[in-house]
Chains A and B, each alone.
Chain A
Amino acid sequence: MHRVFKRTAAGAMAFIGALMVTTLLTGCKFQPGWGYNKGYAPEQPIPFDHSLHAGTHKIQCQYCHNQIERTKHANIPALSTCMNCHLQVATDKPAIQKLREAYDNGDSIEWTRVHMLPDFVHFNHNAHIAKGVNCQTCHGPIETMAKVQQFSDLSMGWCVNCHRQPENKAPLNCSTCHY
């Protein structure tokens, strides 16, 4: 009786173990990027299309993300920047009418943040842009994306791997990114 139960119990444990591993794997590990947010592409309140603006119409990234060379943040453009064109362009489209209404009311658009490092990491755009690192190296082919998607996993290994390349001469001390 005891023997039998022990064997059943051992079997049950093995089964549960297997179940747990599968759950973990399907739950996060099979998600692209092994538990990081690679591939994350949330819905946006207005279907803003980079492939149309930066791709088809070849608008420079810095036309909109214009503070990026000066500060660590890449700013999302003010509504007034959109209005430089959209006071005239595509004014009959519902998305643009929504934009116009927010602009006229002094409101804003609440974009859903795509890229997000944990608070204990310090990243600055300006240092990277100044060294000539392309947006695409880190963000992928944004100019082909109809909806922005996280291209790199933004893990520590990813940052350090690039910093480690001898030609980059980038710092590797922990306190570069954690302070």
Chain B
Amino acid sequence: MSEHHHDHDHDLEMKKALRPKVERDTKYWNSLEQWSNDPEFNKIATTEFQSSPLREADDEGGWARREFLKLMGASIAMASAGCIRRPVQKIVPYNKQPEEVTLGIANYYSSAYFDGSDALGVLIKTREGRPIKIEGNPFPQSAGFRQFVFGCAQKKQHTSK
């Protein structure tokens, strides 16, 4: 077993020695100009990420400064836009106040759902008259709703937040 192992290692060493050597250039390049080591390109590359108005070669047409002013203008505009008031909202009261509605407090109605063979007690959460959630009625009265026909809602209020 161990002998066999030894042979195997030896074979591998031999194979490796016989492989052709590949010269790898581990320098990667992003553009042909970089690859060809273009002097003009190298000069620009050194200042690529310097957006300072004081950067080298600025006096050439003053382009960087103009860009700088443009950016500053934009940031001033954005900074002042940030102070504008939050969006305008409207409060639209009821025409006639419904007795059972208190804004901010949900009303719960128990009702029944008929699935074809059985009636199931359900609890419906409503906000300003709109149903927003239906769930199984956790209260024991739901047993009493077995006789209820679907859609026959009984008003049953529990207060909650």
Residues in chain A within 8 A of chain B (CB atoms):
1-2, 5-6, 9-10, 12-13, 16, 19-20, 23-24, 27-28, 31, 35, 37, 40, 42, 67, 70-73, 75-81, 102-103, 106-113, 116, 118
Q: Which of A40, A42, A110, A118 has the most CB of B within 10 A?
A: A110
Residues of A within 8 A of B93 (CB): 75-79, 108-109, 111
B80 contacts chain A at the CB level, 8 A cutoff: yes
Given contacts A23-B76, A112-B89, A112-B90, 8 further A-B pairs with CB under 8 A are A9-B65, A12-B53, A28-B82, A35-B83, A67-B103, A73-B103, A80-B94, A81-B97
CB distance from B65 to the nearest CB of A (A): 7
Number of chain B residues whose Cβ lies closer than 8 Å to a Cβ of chain A: 29
The 5 closest A-B pairs by CB, nearest first: A28-B83, A27-B80, A78-B97, A78-B94, A71-B104
Which partner residue on chain B sits nearest A108 by CB separation?
B92
The residue that B95 contacts in the complex, of A2, A24, A78, A110, with Cβ under 8 A, is A78
Bound complex: CA of A9 vs CA of B52, how far in Å?
10
CB distance from A2 to the nearest CB of B (A): 7
Q: In chain B between 71 and 94, which residues have their CB closer than 8 angstroms to a CB of chain A?
A: 72, 75-76, 79-80, 82-83, 85-86, 88-94
Which partner residue on chain B sits nearest A126 by CB separation?
B104
CB distance from A91 to the nearest CB of B (A): 18
CB distance from B3 to the nearest CB of A (A): 72
CB distance from B68 to the nearest CB of A (A): 8
Beta-carbon contact of A67 and B59 below 8 Å: no
Bound complex: CA of A79 vs CA of B54, how far in Å?
65
The residue that B104 contacts in the complex, of A73, A76, A109, with Cβ under 8 A, is A73
Residues of A within 8 A of B96 (CB): 78-80
Bound complex: CA of A13 vs CA of B83, how far in Å?
23
Bound complex: CA of A102 vs CA of B85, how far in Å?
29
Beta-carbon contact of A23 and B80 below 8 Å: yes
Residues of A within 8 A of B104 (CB): 71-73
Give 23 A-B contacts (CB < 8 Å), ordered by A residue.
Answer: A1-B59, A5-B59, A9-B54, A12-B65, A16-B69, A19-B76, A27-B80, A28-B82, A42-B88, A67-B102, A67-B103, A71-B104, A78-B95, A79-B93, A79-B95, A79-B96, A80-B96, A106-B95, A108-B92, A111-B91, A111-B93, A112-B89, A112-B90
Residues of A within 8 A of B53 (CB): 9, 12-13
Residues of A within 8 A of B83 (CB): 24, 27-28, 31, 35
Beta-carbon contact of B91 and A37 below 8 Å: no
CB distance from B59 to the nearest CB of A (A): 6
Q: In chain B between 36 and 89, which residues have their CB closer than 8 angstroms to a CB of chain A?
A: 53-54, 58-59, 65, 69, 72, 75-76, 79-80, 82-83, 85-86, 88-89
